[in-house]
Amino acid sequence: MKSLLLALALLSAPALLAQQQESQSGSPTDRPLSQQTVQGCLQGGDHQFTLTDSSVTTYQLQGDAAKMREHVGHEIQVAGTAGRAAAASSKSTPPNDSQSTIQFVDVKHLSSTCKSSK
């Protein structure tokens, strides 16, 4: 009888541990951001740059602006940490209150022209 209880306790321990970890994970915004690579057309200037991919998703790029300036209007690939950021409050802010962002760490030039986004 004791060995049966011990076996049952050992078998249920992983399920209890997984349940405890899920309850401690918090809200989705508390989770770490994901690493991502995105390819698309770079637009912008000064210190604000956006990258629009082939599915017409636009990402706000954050990082070293000096790495981006020479690639404006070009097809590039960026690698970095992806997430969502709250949009700045202004009259030109779209109805969507957050935007996909990438804190880039690497930039790769692919083409001196952007592909048509149709």
Task: Convert the pLDDT of each residue in 99-115 to its tens digit.
Answer: 789 999 999 999 999 98
CATH number of 69's domain: 2.40.50.140
Per-residue pLDDT, 39: 95
- Is 43 inside a domain boundary? yes
Split into its structural domains, the chain has a count of: 1
- Is 26 inside a domain boundary? no
- Is 58 inside a domain boundary? yes
- Is 25 inside a domain boundary? no
- Is 79 inside a domain boundary? yes
- Is 23 inside a domain boundary? no
- Is 15 inside a domain boundary? no
101 contacts: CB under 8 Å, gap ≥ 6:
59, 60, 61, 62, 82, 83, 84, 85
Give the pLDDT band (50/70/90) at residue 73: very high
Domain of residue 67: give its range. Answer: 34-89+97-111
- Is 3 inside a domain boundary? no
Query: 32 with 72: CB under 8 angstroms?
Result: no
The mean pLDDT of 35-41, rounded to a whole number, is 92
Query: 42 with 76: CB under 8 angstroms?
Result: yes
Per-residue pLDDT, 51: 94
Q: Mean pLDDT highest for which of 18-32, 45-59, 73-87?
A: 45-59
pLDDT at 32 over 80: no
Structure tokens at 61: 């790029």
Condensed to tens digits (0 to 9), the pLDDT of residues 87-102 reads 544 444 444 546 789 9
